[in-house]
Amino acid sequence: MRAAQVVAYQQPVKLVDVPEPKIVDPYDVIVRIAGAGVCRTDIHIMQGGLEAAFHPKLPYTLGHENAGWIEEVGGAVSHLKKGDPVVLHPAVTCGFCVACRSGNDMHCPTWKFPGVDGVDGGYADFMRTSARSVVKLASGTDPASLAPQGDAGLTDYHAVKQILPFTYPGSTVVVIGVGGLGHLAIQILHALTPARIVVVATRPERVAFAKSFGADEVVLTGSDGGVSGVLEQTDGVGADAVLDLVGERDVPANSLKMLRKGGAYVIVGYGGEMTVNLLEAINHDYKILASQIGSYTELVELMELAHQGKVRIDSERFPLEDVNDVYQEINAGKILGRAVLIPSH
């Protein structure tokens, strides 16, 4: 089968022929990939930015936002059958540790992260994962369109769940960044909270895009990263919570300036650093939270919102062989929502 692999850092992804995955464990499943979402993390991986975190052995197949149809199941799997449409939780977990048993399976200390940590992901015709990672979809569902929900949507969903205690009628949540993550975060906030949503965007052409998904107000970054715009929208008090979907340059520092006293700053995007003045943090009593991915249960909940039509993805589809061109389009800011790679079976 064909697969798009990172073979060396600072080099384009290569399309290569590799053996089809096989059932190894009784709880394994083989998924015929319908679509695999393209994430900026893939670009960080190609640049070597995650090498220190995961030490993956090269080459391996990228793709951690995956959906498709069940192709084959292990002997212990009885609730799935060939042809079932599914979306995949990005992590493969043990099921027995305290984290897994308590429903926080994304904190499993022995987890695997296919497409990220050296385990083969879904930029291929087929992918092997665990039955524990499979969320079955309604019969007749087009799984390709839901692929980015497995990571982009799930990460947003987990972040929003963390700030629920900070939202109430009349509260304001700021979303920084209105691309592939941002348009999903806006919808999830509307589905789960009564908060007013203020989006911080870098370019005027993103204003209409943000409002089409439910942003109540949009402010442009300007010379201060949007701080003055947010303070103006909140009568100088600041926001109850800030979702930072960028996490680079001066965005983290500016995010703290946007908060009201006692507010919450949630880090989703990464790549930058932040210095915290402890006295200032205590005086403002703000909370700093981080969100990687959510739990399996949270992905099930998110799929229900998608089924109800409350969270939809703005996506463009591309053939798998166009993967490097897609990365260039993303870097150039030409894709507003999410890109999905489609293998030609």
Domain residues of the chain, as ranges? Answer: 2-148+294-342, 154-290
Sheet holding 217-220, edge to edge: 217-220, 196-201, 172-176, 239-244, 259-267, 287-290
> What confidence tens digit (pLDDT) does each residue in 43-81 have?
889 888 888 888 899 999 999 999 999 999 999 999 999
Q: What angle do CA 319, 205, 43 make, to 5 degrees?
A: 40
* Whether residue 297 has pLDDT greater than 90: yes
Architecture of domain 2-148+294-342: Alpha-Beta Complex (3.90)
Question: For 171-209, how does the pLDDT look when each residue is reduced to its tens digit (9 = 90+)?
Answer: 999 999 999 999 999 999 999 999 999 999 998 889 999
Using CA atoms, how far apart are residues 209 and 288, in angstroms rounded to an integer?
A: 28
Give the model confidence (pLDDT) of 227-256 as tens digits: 999 999 999 999 999 999 999 899 999 999
Which residues are bridge partners to 316 per DSSP? 339
Query: End-to-end CA distance of the chain, in Å?
Result: 9
Task: Grade residue 334 by pLDDT with cuts at 50, 70 and 90.
Answer: confident
The secondary structure of 29-62 as a DSSP string is EEEEEEEEEE-HHHHHHHTTTTHHHH-PPSSEE-
Q: Which two tokens stand for residue 279?
A: 């006295």
Mean pLDDT of 278-297: 94
Which of 11, 18, 29, 20 is CA-nearest to residue 76? 29
User: What fold is seen in the domain 154-290?
Assistant: Rossmann fold (3.40.50)
- Give me the percent of the chain exceeding a pLDDT of 70: 100
pLDDT band at 129 (very low <50, low <70, confident <90, very high): very high
Q: Please, are residues 114 and 132 in contact by the beta-carbon 8 Å criterion?
A: no
Rounded to an integer, what distance in angstroms lies between the CA atom of residue 297 and that of residue 105? 9
Nearest to 249 by CA among 215, 273, 227, 229: 273
